[in-house]
Amino acid sequence: MSETSAAGPAGPAAGQQVPSGPLPRLLGLPLALLRRGVEIILILLLAAMFGSVLAQIAGRYAFNFSIAWATEFASYAQIWMVLLGAGYAMRTRLHVSIDTLVAALPPLLGRLVMVPILGLCLWFLWVVWEGGWLLLEIGQIQTSAGLGVPMTVPYAALPASAAYLALETLIAMGGVIIGRAPVATGGGVRLD
SS (H, E, C) the chain: CEEECCCCCCCCCCCCEEECCHHHHHHHHHHHHHHHHHHHHHHHHHHHHHHHHHHHHHHHHHCCCCCCCHHHHHHHHHHHHHHHHHHHHHHCCCCCCCCHHHHHCCHHHHHHHHHHHHHHHHHHHHHHHHHHHHHHHHHCCCECCCCCCECHHHHCHHHHHHHHHHHHHHHHHHHHHCCCCCCCCCCCCCCC
Q: What is the mean pLDDT of the chain?
A: 84
* Predicted confidence (pLDDT) per residue in 103-114, tens digit: 888 989 989 989
Reported as a single tens digit per residue, the pLDDT across 18-34 is 455 565 667 788 999 99
**What digits encode the pLDDT tens for the residues 71-87?**
999 999 999 999 999 99
Q: What is the reported pLDDT for 149? A: 92
Sequence ranges of the domains in the chain:
2-6+14-177
